[in-house]
Amino acid sequence: MSPLNFTYVCILSSMLSSIGSWPHKQFGRRRLDFILSMYNILLIVVAIALPSLGATYIWNKRQTISFFDVGHLLLCMFLEFLFLQRLFMPWTAKYQVIIKEYLLKFHLFYFRNQTQYASKIHTQIHNISVIFTLLMACQMFCGVSLFTFMPWYNNYNNRMFILDRPANRTFEQAVYFYCFTEDVYTTIKGYWVLFVFNIPTTYNTSCVVAFDLLLSLIVFQIWGHLKILKHNVLSIFPKEGMYSPEENMKVREILKEIIEHHKFIIKFVNKCSDAFSEELFVFYLLMQVITCTSLLEVSALTADALAKYGPITLVVHQQLIQVSILFEMISSKSEQLIDAVYAMPWQSMDTSNRKTVMILLQRSQTPIALKAAKMVPVGLQTMAAVLKTSISYYMILNTVAGER
C-alpha cells in the first residue's frame, strides 16, 4: 500500500530510529517522535562530551602515548564529529519534509502503473535498493563487531582476564576517554564497565552510514525517474513528413506530460540539494581527515590493525566513492536527456509543438546535480580531489610515524 512497508525502508527507518533521527511525526506518530527526539538530544550531549574527553585523554597521556594510539583516538573523534553533525539534521524542517516527500510523493511506487516501462524501472530500482540496504547493514554490523570485540580478543590473548595477569599492563579498549579514574584501564571490573559503554557508543557512531544510505536510496529514485523521462522522450514516434492534426494533438499531450515530469524531478532535486547541502559539505570535509587517518592506522599491516581498522577503512572509502559515483550517475543521465531531446522529430511537428520542444530543450540544458554547500558539485571530480589530498596527508604522516 505504501513504500513505508517495503523491507529496505523498514530497515532504514529502524537504523535511523535507533538514534532518534527518523521523522515519525511526518507519518502521524507524534508520541514516538517526541520520545525519540528526547533520545536524540541525549545522544547530542554524549557526542559533544566524548571528543572532549578523548582530547583530554591525549593531553594527559602526551608523554607516553604512541603515535598510532593518537591516530586511533583522532579517528574516533573525527567520526564522532561527523555523527554529531548528522544528529542535528533531524531537527531541520527541510530534512523531515524531504523524507516525507520522497516516500509519499516522489517514490517510483506511485508511477509504476503509468507505463509498462515505468513498472519495469520501479521493479529494478526496488531490487537494487533491497540489495544495497542489506549490504550496507551487513557492513555496518561487521565493522561494529570487529572494532568492538577485537580489543577484547587482544586482552584475552594477552591473558588479561586471569587473576595472575601480566604486571604493568593496561586493558585495551575500543575507544579511550578520560574517565577521572584509571580503574577502567587497570581493573577487570572497570574494564567491563567501559567495554559495555563502548558497544552502544560504537554502534551509534556507525549509524552515520544510515544517513548515506538514505541519500543513496533517494538518488536511486531520481535516477529511475530520469530513465523513465528519457524513455518517454524517445517514445515520440518519428515520421517522414509532417504530423497530421490528430497526431500533433497526441504529441502535444506527450510533450506536456514530459515537461511536467521534468519540472517535478527538478523541483525535488532542488529540495534535496537544499536539505543535504550542509551535510554533503561536512561529509567531504571530514572525509579528507578520516580517510587519511584510517589509512595510517591500517598501514601497520598487523593482524590486529587489519581486523580493527580494515573494515573502517573499507567503509569510509566506499562511502566516499559510492556517494560520488551515484551523483555522477544523475549528472550523466541528465546529459543523456539533453541528447534525447535533440533527437526528437521536431521537424515533423507543427509550430506550437516546435515551441514546446524548444522550451523543453532550454530547460534540459540545466544539469540535474546536487551541490555541497550549494557551491561544489558532488561527483567524481570532487571525490578525486578528496582522495588525492587524503593520500598526500597520509604520506606525510606515515613518514613522521616512521621517523618516530
> Kind and range of the H or E element at 100?
helix 93-101
pLDDT in tens, 110-138: 998 888 999 999 999 999 999 999 988 88
pLDDT in tens, 302-321: 776 777 777 777 777 777 78
Contact call for residues 49 and 204 (beta carbons, < 8 A): no
Mean predicted lDDT score pLDDT of the chain:
84
pLDDT in tens, 28-80: 888 998 999 999 999 999 889 888 888 888 888 888 887 777 878 888 888 88
Contact call for residues 346 and 354 (beta carbons, < 8 A): yes
Place of cell 516546435: 354
pLDDT in tens, 380-398: 777 777 777 777 766 776 6
* Nearest partner of 230 among 118, 124, 129, judged by Cα: 118
pLDDT higher than threshold 90 for residue 301? no
More confident residue, 253 or 185: 253
Give the global pTM. Answer: 0.86
pLDDT higher than threshold 70 for residue 401? no
Distance CA(237)–CA(298), nearest Å, equals: 57
Burial class (CB in 10 A: 0-12, 13-18, 19+), 213: buried
Total length of the chain: 404
DSSP string of 340-389?
HHHTS-GGGS-HHHHHHHHHHHHHHTS----EETTTEEPSHHHHHHHHHH
What's residue 16's pLDDT?
A: 92
* Nearest partner of 253 among 352, 111, 341, judged by Cα: 352
Average pLDDT of span 228-255: 85
Weakest-pLDDT range from 147-156, 174-183, 363-372: 363-372
Q: Which segments of 18-66 does DSSP mark as H helices, in order?
A: 30-60
Q: CB count, 10 Å around CB of 158?
A: 13
Average pLDDT of span 211-227: 90
* Nearest partner of 90 among 156, 29, 7, 19, judged by Cα: 19
Sequence letter at residue 372: A
* Nearest partner of 307 among 195, 150, 154, 199, judged by Cα: 150
What's residue 35's pLDDT?
A: 92
More confident residue, 7 or 238: 7
What's residue 276's pLDDT?
A: 83
Q: Which segments of 158-175 does DSSP mark as H helices, in order?
A: none
What's residue 397's pLDDT?
A: 67
Distance CA(178)–CA(3), nearest Å, equals: 45
State phi, psi for 181 to the nearest 5 degrees.
-155, 150
Contact call for residues 251 and 243 (beta carbons, < 8 A): yes
State phi, psi for 177 to the nearest 5 degrees.
-135, 160
End-to-end, the C-alpha distance of the chain in Å comes to 62
Distance CA(15)–CA(147), nearest Å, equals: 19
Burial class (CB in 10 A: 0-12, 13-18, 19+), 185: middle
- Tell me the pairing of strands 371-372 and 376-377: antiparallel
Contact call for residues 196 and 187 (beta carbons, < 8 A): no
Percent composition of the chain: helix, strand, coil (DSSP 3-state, to 5):
80, 0, 20
More confident residue, 389 or 7: 7
* Nearest partner of 238 among 343, 337, 339, judged by Cα: 343
Contact call for residues 195 and 173 (beta carbons, < 8 A): yes
DSSP lists the bridge partners of residue 156 as: none
* Nearest partner of 262 among 193, 338, 206, 194, judged by Cα: 338
What's residue 100's pLDDT?
A: 92
Whole-number percent of the chain with pLDDT over 90? 18
Burial class (CB in 10 A: 0-12, 13-18, 19+), 232: buried
